């Protein structure tokens, strides 16, 4: 799941390169604007294919939103907070008694920072290894094969490339009734929520999507009373409704409170430092209010495509997203786009796949992305992981299907580790038994979903999965049992 530091510029400049100083108007085969998961992976692939490539990024550190203010720091805090919560409340169930568990939030933040630093520096090494120039600064497309970049010292330089790949990522969507001030740590977005200097006693999360639930989980585990205000009747965005309802029940057991079917109308910070949020039913009605120490605004993301020269070049766009064909090519043939800049889920791994496929297309190879097999994961505890169609989508498309599910409460490994909330659910075509969707809520779901992605990528049936030997005792046996429930009957339920 990805968060961003809002930028009004994108791309980068040739401030330095590996091995030599790059002259003005340097000639490249590929110029990639953006050093996030899509951009740096595309650059590495270009180098591997023998293309002269430059990856341009103005943030000052490679990895984009994901590594700097998104996937990586949030997962660090999720893991650290899980350990703290487990030591405080979970270890006793295993007969391990720990008294006077305390929290060192500064050390937790330092662990997060160390993870970011190590990974971003590692990407620089990968670019160097693959003979890709790393260029630092903000840039703008000023011609079909030209990028004008702004250096840190105020000067400009021109990059010339046969192909330009837009990989500028996305930024946090604003919510006008609730203006964000990350510096004050009262009303924050996903970036500010990563750096809270102390644990708020009460937190309100505006938006029950992936990012809001993950960051809400971090601070809930550390002691916050978390209330989620969600416009829709269910959490998790486009999750399968059965999974969404189960997910919400589990979070409620963990202490989350939910105000569903509600929209926020205003916010204000009082003299006492408390934030007051006013909200009302989504379809209109009586206004209510709630106060908190910190409010996290997590209402989605938008493409980071402003002020990049796209409109000046006549590149077709739709609601900020760049229109591309099956080859990731815009209506200007030399300009391509991938990742959060184009339609589809805003996921780091989706951007990576598109980056590789796009560069392979540029090189004359057969790059391809199977959008039916892009997994999504919510890194709460338990985790939620999905790939393929939901029940609601299959019904809407008129596709007849079989459904099989298996609860972790009937799984021996889950029971022995005392972590048995959730289930595995598999949807398969009624006639062919080909797997169409897999939905997991439970421990290690984010790792387990890889089996489902592989199965779907190669057109497996639920019986193919059910007849594959799984080690015992493992959580993955729940996957096998759900598959058997889809085409026949499970053994252990």
Single out the catalytic residue among 94, 368, 472, 492. 472
301-303 vs 170-172, strand pairing mode: antiparallel
For 369, other C-beta atoms within 10 Å of its C-beta total 19
Contact 191, 5 (CB under 8 A): yes
Element (H, E) at 406: strand 401-407
Residue 40's alpha-carbon distances to 54, 62, 115, 295, in angstroms, are 9, 8, 18, 33
- Is 472 one of the catalytic residues? yes
103 SS3 class: coil
Q: Is 464 exposed, middle or buried (0-12, 13-18, 19+ CB in 10 A)?
A: middle
Write out 280-326 in H/E/C secondary structure. Answer: EECCCCCCEEEEECEEEECCCEEECCCCCCCCCCCCCEECCEECCCC
Contacts of 447 (CB under 8 A, 6+ apart): none
Q: Write 243-249 long-range contacts (CB < 8 A, 24+).
A: 243/384, 243/386, 243/425, 243/439, 243/441, 246/422, 246/423, 246/441, 247/378, 247/380, 247/384, 247/441
Burial of 388 (0-12, 13-18, 19+ CB in 10 A): buried
Nearest CA-CA partner of 159 in 309, 339, 366: 309
List the catalytic residues: 472
């Amino acid at each position: 799941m990805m968060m961003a530091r809002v930028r009004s510029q994108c791309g980068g400049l040739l401030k330095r390169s590996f091995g030599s100083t790059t002259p003005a108007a340097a000639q490249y085969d590929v110029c990639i604007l953006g050093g996030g998961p899509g951009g740096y992976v595309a650059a590495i692939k270009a180098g591997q294919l023998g293309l002269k490539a430059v990856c341009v990024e103005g943030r000052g550190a490679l990895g984009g939103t994901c590594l700097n203010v998104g996937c990586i720091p949030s997962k660090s805090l999720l893991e650290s907070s899980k350990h703290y919560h487990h030591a405080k409340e979970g270890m006793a169930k295993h007969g391990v008694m720990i008294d006077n568990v305390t929290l060192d939030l500064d050390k937790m933040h330092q662990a997060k920072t160390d993870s970011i630093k190590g990974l971003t520096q590692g990407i620089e090494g990968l670019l160097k290894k693959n003979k890709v120039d790393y260029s630092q600064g903000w840039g703008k497309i000023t011609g079909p094969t030209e990028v004008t970049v702004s250096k840190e010292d105020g000067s400009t330089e021109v990059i010339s490339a046969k192909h330009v790949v837009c990989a500028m990522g996305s930024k946090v969507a604003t919510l006008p009734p609730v203006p964000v001030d990350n510096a004050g740590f009262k009303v924050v977005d996903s970036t500010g929520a990563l750096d809270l200097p102390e644990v708020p006693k009460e937190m309100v999360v505006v938006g029950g999507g992936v990012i809001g639930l993950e960051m809400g989980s971090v601070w809930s585990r550390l002691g916050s009373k978390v209330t989620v205000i969600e416009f829709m009747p269910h959490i998790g965005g486009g999750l399968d409704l059965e999974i969404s309802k189960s997910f919400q029940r589990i979070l409620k057991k963990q202490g989350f409170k939910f105000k569903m079917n509600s929209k926020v109308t205003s916010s204000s910070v009082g003299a006492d430092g408390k934030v007051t949020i006013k909200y009302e039913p989504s379809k209109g009605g009586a206004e209510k209010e709630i106060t908190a120490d910190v409010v996290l605004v997590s209402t989605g993301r938008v493409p980071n495509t402003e002020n990049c020269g796209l409109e000046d070049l006549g590149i077709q766009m739709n609601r900020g997203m760049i229109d591309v064909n099956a080859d990731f090519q815009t209506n200007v043939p030399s300009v391509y786009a991938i990742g959060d800049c184009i339609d589809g889920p805003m996921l780091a791994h989706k951007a990576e796949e598109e980056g590789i496929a796009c560069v392979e297309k540029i090189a004359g190879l057969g790059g391809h992305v199977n959008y039916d097999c892009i997994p999504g994961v919510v890194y709460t505890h338990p985790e939620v992981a999905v790939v393929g169609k939901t029940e609601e989508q299959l019904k809407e498309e008129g596709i007849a299907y079989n459904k099989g599910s298996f609860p972790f409460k009937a799984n021996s490994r889950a029971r022995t580790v005392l972590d048995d909330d959730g289930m595995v659910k598999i949807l398969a075509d009624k006639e062919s038994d080909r797997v169409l969707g897999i939905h997991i809520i439970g421990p290690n779901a984010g790792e387990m979903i890889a089996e489902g992605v592989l199965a779907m990528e190669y057109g497996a049936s639920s019986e193919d999965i059910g007849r594959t030997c799984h080690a015992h005792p493992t959580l993955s046996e729940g996957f096998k049992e759900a598959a058997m429930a889809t085409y026949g009957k499970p053994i252990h339920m």
